[in-house]
Each structure stands twice: as structure tokens, then as C-alpha cells.
Structure 1
Amino acid sequence: MGNVDEGPRHAERSVRAGWPGMRDKRVVVTGGSRGLGEGIVRLLLAEGAQVATCARGKAGLAALDASLPGEERARLLTEDLDVTEPGRLEDFVTASAKRFGTLDGVVACVGGSRGGGFEQTDAADWAAT
């Protein structure tokens, strides 16, 4: 049985990694201090989006903020909160819209290390719920 690295080389793909079309979009991401949520926050910021994120711990949010270049940090809003507490997420989304303007989307990273996933929804759908 051969090693997969011993096979023929494939041509390099010239597809840019990222989330094209996100420049200047305004997005809320829950659970953004680690794991999948953090990755989504970093990708959105790298693509030029304005991002509001929340998580249950100040330390993770502070570490995220400190690790970003100044230009990305300026487009990030963070708040430590538990989205399961009644009204907290709604208040955060409202505060995010006040800072950035009308939101373009909400990405809810559900469950994190407890085996959850994520759900992306349009901001209009969020307002309707």
C-alpha cells in the first residue's frame, strides 16, 4: 500500500480561500471566542465585514480582540453573555445594529464543543422571529 503523498502531483488550485462578497457586510456571530465561531469571525473580518460576536467568557473574547490587527479590531464588537438567558441575545443584536447599522446576517454557532453546529440566517429572518 503506497503513501498518498507518493502519488502524482495535482496542479495547484488558484481559488482564493475565504468568503467573497462579505466586504462591508454587518454580521452577528454567536459563540465567536473559540472553535468554529472564532474561525467564522476571523474569516469575516479578513474579508472586510463588520462583526459583532458574543461568548460566555471575557477571557476568550479578550484574547480574540488582542490577536487581531488594528484595522480588523476596529470592525469588531464583542460582549460576554450567555445566549440562553432571556433577552440577552436580542439586546446584543439590537446593540450591534445600533453600532453598525442594518444587519446583513446572523450566524449562530450552537453547542460549540458539545457537538453542536452552526446555523446561518438572514437578518430579516432573525427580525421576523
Structure 2
Amino acid sequence: MQMCIFGFPTFSVIPLLDHPGMTVFSKVLYGSLHVRAYDWVEPPRKARNQITFQGNMGKLMKFPSNTVRLAKLAVDKVLTAPCGTSILYPGNGGNLHYFTAVTPCAVLDILTPPCREDAGRKCTYYRNYLYSAFGK
């Protein structure tokens, strides 16, 4: 098991990441935290070819098909202490997630089993794009 306490000033962010093969228990100790979390769409649906779409600032963006995967929204809420414990499971409940501090806050995270790269449990960071940005 691995335990961490994260302290956040207002508007700070932990970017979109996953915890592969891990269950994560999170408890807001004080303040308010916005949680947005996703589950992968199963089976994986990837584009067959390179994808091009118009991103922010009108820039054309290209992605090889193996870098794009569809996820569905599982959690989109603000947690304000005192509140219950949130649980992210390896395959559902929003294991792919990010946090944004609404107010100064602190979060206790317990990961089991712990992060361990040599055991295939390395967190990966992602970018979030709306499905509509990719057209048909």
C-alpha cells in the first residue's frame, strides 16, 4: 500500500492520469475539490488511420491511431469536506481522472497495490479531447 497527502492551493490541478492495476481510496480532508473521472470504453475502439482535427486556436492536430482511445465520463462532481471516501477501481469508477482545487484543500490517497513501474503499475498522463472534435 502507498499513502500520500496532497495539499492544493485554489485552482491547482493534478492533470489527467491513470493508476493501472491499482485501487485508489481518496478522502478530502478539508476544502473542496472538483473530480472528473473516466472509464475506458471496452472493448477498446481505436481509429484505423491517422486522425486529424481542428484543435484549440484553429491548429490542425494529427494523432496516430494507436495514441487515441475513447473513454466515457464516470464522475464529475465537487467533493467538499467532510464527505465520504471515493474509490477508483482498476477497471471502473473513474481510474482515469484529474483533480482541480475549488478552494484550498488536502486529499489523502491510499493506493493498493502501490505504484511500481517494474510491476506494470506506472501512472500515465493523458490529454482530454471532446469526442465531437474528431468528427465522424
TM score, norm. by length of structure 2: 0.24
Higher helix share: 1
Higher relative contact order (CA 8 A, sep 6+): 2
Larger Rg: 1
Give me the TM-score of the superposition, normalised by structure 1.
Answer: 0.24
